[in-house]
Amino acid sequence: MQYPTLCRAAGPLITAEFGNWISDFQIRDFEREFTPTFLSMPTNPADPLAKWELTFDTMHDRNHTVTVCFAGAAPLFALVDG
């Protein structure tokens, strides 16, 4: 799976999570607005449903990070931590 495809898939979950406290939140340019900072590797990467995480810093709130949890290439949920 390519990084831009993963970002497009994660975008709606991130938008929904940030939308909980930033009114009318929208991602306009994912790669400019979110910088990857952490990648967890699944125990068995050959498993197409292996769970893993991708964490980002964001220009939208420098005091928080965004973690997207995936099963294979499908994003499951996003968390904003700070």
- 49-74, pLDDT tens digit by residue? 999 999 999 999 889 999 999 999 89
- 18-58, pLDDT tens digit by residue? 888 888 999 999 999 999 999 998 888 788 899 999 999 99
- Distance in angstroms (rounded) separating the CA atoms of residues 49 and 16: 23
* Exposed/middle/buried for residue 5 (C-beta within 10 Å: 0-12, 13-18, 19+): exposed
Residue 38's CB is within 10 A of a number of other CB atoms, namely 11
Range of the domain at 54: 3-27+34-42+49-81
What total of structural domains would you count in the chain? 1
Residue 43 confidence (pLDDT):
84
Tell whether the model's pLDDT for residue 1 goes beyond 70.
no
- Judged by phi (left if over 0) then psi (alpha if -120 to 50, else beta), residue 7 lies in alpha
The pTM of the full predicted model, rounded to 2 decimals, is 0.90
Q: 23: helix, coil or strand?
A: coil
